[in-house]
Structure 1
Amino acid sequence: MVRKNSVILFGTFLFVSWNAVLVLLLWNRDPGDVVQDVLKMADAFEAELGRQKDILLQIKNQKLLFLRRPSNLSRLAPPPPAPVATVIPILVMACNRVTVRRCLDKLLQYRPSEALYPIIVSQDCGHEDTAAVIQSYGEKVTHLRQPDLGDVPVRPEHKKFQGYYKISRHYHWALSQVFRTLGHEAVVIVEDDLEVAPDFFEYFRALQPMLQSDPSLWCVSAWNDNGRDGYVDPGKPSLLYRTDFFPGLGWMMLRQLWDELEPKWPSAFWDDWMRQPDQRKNRACIRPEISRTITFGRQGVSLGQFFDKYLKFIRLNSEFVPFTKIDLSYLKEETYRVNFEKEVYSAPLVSYEDVKQGKLKGPGPFRLQYSSKDSFKTMAKNLGVMEDLKSGVPRAGYRGVVSFISRGQRVYLAPPPGWTQYDPTWS
């Protein structure tokens, strides 16, 4: 309707204008001359209208042709951008070990991309010899220095734990630098006494999307607490597990988790704090059958706790596994839980004596059942499995089950069928 009214107004305007021109021309002129002039003007006007009509018809035809061929738009539009890979920095927590060189050398040797895996070394302690080693790498690494080197105020009975307070303060500062100052979305944290496996970067790259999309996960770890030689299957370097125990020792977290943890970060013993129910919230981590890190640092704040008995015997994976090309959907919570429980509780129940004396018959797996904290600790200790519990969760455990190899056969140290939850008083 609006368009029709516009045409009527335009026509009226032309009519009035034409007659006004005629009046001006007829005023005080010879009638014969006037008639000739009017006829010439009418011809010119008609010709101009014809040209304008042709132009409008061409525009209309081109518009219709374009609308009938929508593929033209797709041909002209640029192709969609390729997905941008997440940058996963490696945060090396350093203090006063000049042997940080061993850690950095392996990271640089196996790093597939400088852009995707920037190496950030955060140094506490102010130890200048260690600082010199870090700075010798030049632009290959970013060297950050924790500015607050003073003692942390603690209760008198906690003075002997001053080192643990400083470590927790350092972690808080370093993670804030990574997520707040540098703006990264994820990070892999290693200590200065860890050596990494050849597929260390491949492992974390493959699992980052799952960590991002699965709210039942809160970390990915390169570490198996029971990963000593003889306790893992060397023929299954690609085997991965879910675990309810926070392993640490080379682990990946996302910025969203730091948003959650930063406001309540503890003043000391941050790793055990992570293992408490209020932090874990029934979430799991991914961990490997064969560790992708080993520790070579016997001396430290923990005074070599567990090192001589367990840690120095951890097996480091040497075979590159192309995790990014493997279907890892079996690790999704519901699928994994159902399949894992089926395998564990369909395995034949065996006695502790048969396991200890190597009398198991058949290829396995086998199930060894514990019924209390004390029975778990006794069997684990005597079988060479780490026996300590944190808030009721055994190291490397999933739904109370600890998987390990004994004399070449798979054994599941498991609670009775029908397990529902951990008892935080087990410690």
Structure 2
Amino acid sequence: MLRKRGSAILCGAFLFVAWNAVVVLYLWGRPLSGREEREMDGGRGGADLAGDVIHMAEAFEAELEMQRKILLQIQGHRSLWEQPNENGASRVGPPQVVIPILVIACNRVTVKRCLDKLLEYRPSAELYPIIVSQDCGHAETAQVIGSYGSQVTHLKQPDLSDIAVRPEHKKFQGYYKISRHYRWALNQVFNSLSHSSVVIVEDDLEVAPDFFEYFRSLHPILKSDLSLWCVSAWNDNGRDGYVDPGKADLLYRTDFFPGLGWMMLKELWVELEPKWPGAFWDDWMRQPDQRRDRACIRPEISRTLTFGRKGVSLGQFYDKYLRYIKLNSEFVPFTKLDLAYLKEDKYKELFEKQVYSASLVKYEEVQQGQLKGAGPFCLHYSSKDGFKVLAKNLGVMEDLKSGVPRTGYRGVVSFLSRGRRIFLAPPPGWSKYDPTWS
């Protein structure tokens, strides 16, 4: 059915272009009538007629060129319904889902670094349209975005006014504007442009070579597993030395909303938009009322890297953690891998078995490099302060949001220390997070 449809479209386009070509050739080649010859001989009237004929021919030539471009576009879109089978031959299949990339921009001309990498690694303009939503009205940044022409769609947030906030929140005006911009931009993607999913990046993120492959492979799982609500490209503890460079294909579930390059579905936006917060939208996402015990998927090695030290957060965590995050450089063919292990029913059982069957060790053994064997090893904590002290001394992110540690899954934080896998975990029998641990 789809093959016939594609052939019909191409045939129709070809016939339309051919008809225009015939008309142009006819106008150029046909002999003039006697009246037209007399008018030509008569001087001015003949000159006008000749000019009209030339103008008509030029118009048809321009139309012919436009139809040629349309035909090329149609041929390009064939890839959306024709896919190779195991033998490499073309087979007809359902159109692949379009996953737009939404770049949130403001006043940083370094958005060029973000866009250059997205365009360098993007495998298909049709499957991954890039939408840049700009707030702030910064002319130089707008000029940089505009320089990409039709390669990106440039949206401009129309409301640049200050937001009325209570006096003690005046210093947080930037956070209020960011939240307003996110709401507007996501409404454009889902409601105005009618997309069903989106990957959100900010203008200070650089992406990895397999960034698009990563999100493409995980879209079906996000769509089918209701216990998930996002896919993130980011590992908060993904500094060099804390991740396994030989496990670029390793993925996790996490109860912590990571952000920094993340995918969501329209269904989630329909749920969140009516109660979207005035400010601090990312920490709001981490509250129990929004998370609702749902998890995100995140990688062992990050698929994004932040290069923006300056911003409304004034570089919080940047110098100590973020600037050292390892960006993946190896292309992993995720779409060819079996990722069914990430489904909640399988993952929870396997993960807990791996964590609580690991050798139980003390902090001093980890810190002093006295571990024996290849691991993995498990290190227990039983209080908020206990977690914070261990995390800080071991070099992983120590803050908690609504009781959830960064990268944590069922309270467990996984990382490498001196080349060995460590699980910083609550004792067996863990049941839920304590929101007062913040």
TM-score (norm 1): 0.81
Indicate yes or no: 2:426 matched with 1:418: no
How does 1:180-329 map onto structure 2 within 5 Å? 180-329=191-340
Q: Distance in 1 between matches of 2:249 and 2:101?
A: 22
Deviation at 1:295, TM superposition (A): 0.2
Indicate yes or no: 2:186 matched with 1:172: no
- Which one-letter code corresponds to 1:305 in the other structure? Q
For 1:102, what is the secondary structure of its paired residue? helix
Aligned counterpart, 1:11: none
Deviation at 1:83, TM superposition (A): 1.4
**Equivalent of 2:389, from 378, 383, 405?**
378
**Equivalent of 1:160, from 133, 157, 171?**
171
Q: Distance in 2 between matches of 1:123 and 1:363?
A: 49
Q: Cα deviations across residues 349-371 of structure 1 (Å, max 9, x unaligned)?
A: 10001111111110000000001
Aligned counterpart, 1:401: 412
For 2:284, what is the secondary structure of its paired residue? helix
For 2:316, what is the secondary structure of its paired residue? coil
Aligned counterpart, 1:365: 376
For 2:378, what is the secondary structure of its paired residue? strand
Residue ranges of structure 2 left out of the alignment (5+ in a row): 1-90
Aligned counterpart, 1:113: 124
- Which one-letter code corresponds to 1:247 in the other structure? P
Q: Cα deviations across residues 332-391 of structure 1 (Å, max 9, x unaligned)?
A: 101000000000000011000111111111000000000100000000001000000000
For 2:314, what is the secondary structure of its paired residue? coil
For 1:421, what is the secondary structure of its paired residue? coil
- Which one-letter code corresponds to 2:154 in the other structure? H
Q: Cα deviations across residues 4-55 of structure 1 (Å, max 9, x unaligned)?
A: xxxxxxxxxxxxxxxxxxxxxxxxxxxxxxxxxxxxxxxxxxxxxxxxxxxx
Deviation at 1:254, TM superposition (A): 0.2
Q: Distance in 1 between matches of 2:346 and 2:93?
A: 31
Indicate yes or no: 2:97 matched with 1:96: no
Q: Distance in 2 between matches of 1:148 and 1:355?
A: 53
Deviation at 1:313, TM superposition (A): 0.1
Q: Cα deviations across residues 117-142 of structure 1 (Å, max 9, x unaligned)?
A: 00000000000000000000000000
Aligned counterpart, 1:66: none
Aligned counterpart, 2:147: 136
Q: Distance in 1 between matches of 2:266 and 2:418?
A: 42
Aligned counterpart, 2:73: none
Q: Distance in 2 between matches of 1:188 and 1:339?
A: 29
Residue ranges of structure 1 left out of the alignment (5+ in a row): 1-79
| Fraction of identical pairs, as percent | 79
For 1:167, what is the secondary structure of its paired residue? helix
For 1:245, what is the secondary structure of its paired residue? coil
Q: Distance in 2 between matches of 1:83 and 1:243?
A: 32
Q: Distance in 2 between matches of 1:97 and 1:346?
A: 48
Aligned counterpart, 2:355: 344
Q: Distance in 2 between matches of 1:246 and 1:370?
A: 22
Q: Distance in 1 between matches of 2:242 and 2:94?
A: 40
Q: Distance in 2 between matches of 1:237 and 1:109?
A: 21
Q: Distance in 1 between matches of 2:418 and 2:279?
A: 39
Q: Distance in 2 between matches of 1:350 and 1:334?
A: 28
Q: Distance in 2 between matches of 1:152 and 1:167?
A: 11
Q: Distance in 2 between matches of 1:385 and 1:329?
A: 29
How does 1:59-70 map onto structure 2 within 5 Å? none
Deviation at 1:84, TM superposition (A): 1.4
Deviation at 1:81, TM superposition (A): 5.8
Deviation at 1:200, TM superposition (A): 0.1
Number of positions where the alignment pairs a residue of Structure 1 with one of Structure 2 = 349
- Which one-letter code corresponds to 1:376 in the other structure? F
What is the alpha-carbon root mean square deviation over aligned residues? 1.0
- Which one-letter code corresponds to 1:385 in the other structure? V
Deviation at 1:82, TM superposition (A): 1.5
Q: Distance in 2 between matches of 1:235 and 1:410?
A: 13
Q: Cα deviations across residues 94-127 of structure 1 (Å, max 9, x unaligned)?
A: 0000000000000000000000000000000000
- Which one-letter code corresponds to 1:210 in the other structure? I
Indicate yes or no: 2:341 matched with 1:330: yes
- Which one-letter code corresponds to 2:144 in the other structure? V
**Equivalent of 2:138, from 94, 118, 127?**
127
Q: Distance in 2 between matches of 1:406 and 1:359?
A: 11
- Which one-letter code corresponds to 1:285 in the other structure? C
Moved over 4 A (4+): none
- Which one-letter code corresponds to 1:268 in the other structure? A
Q: Distance in 2 between matches of 1:381 and 1:222?
A: 24
Q: Distance in 2 between matches of 1:371 and 1:165?
A: 36
Q: Cα deviations across residues 225-262 of structure 1 (Å, max 9, x unaligned)?
A: 00000000000000000000000000000000000000
Aligned counterpart, 1:74: none
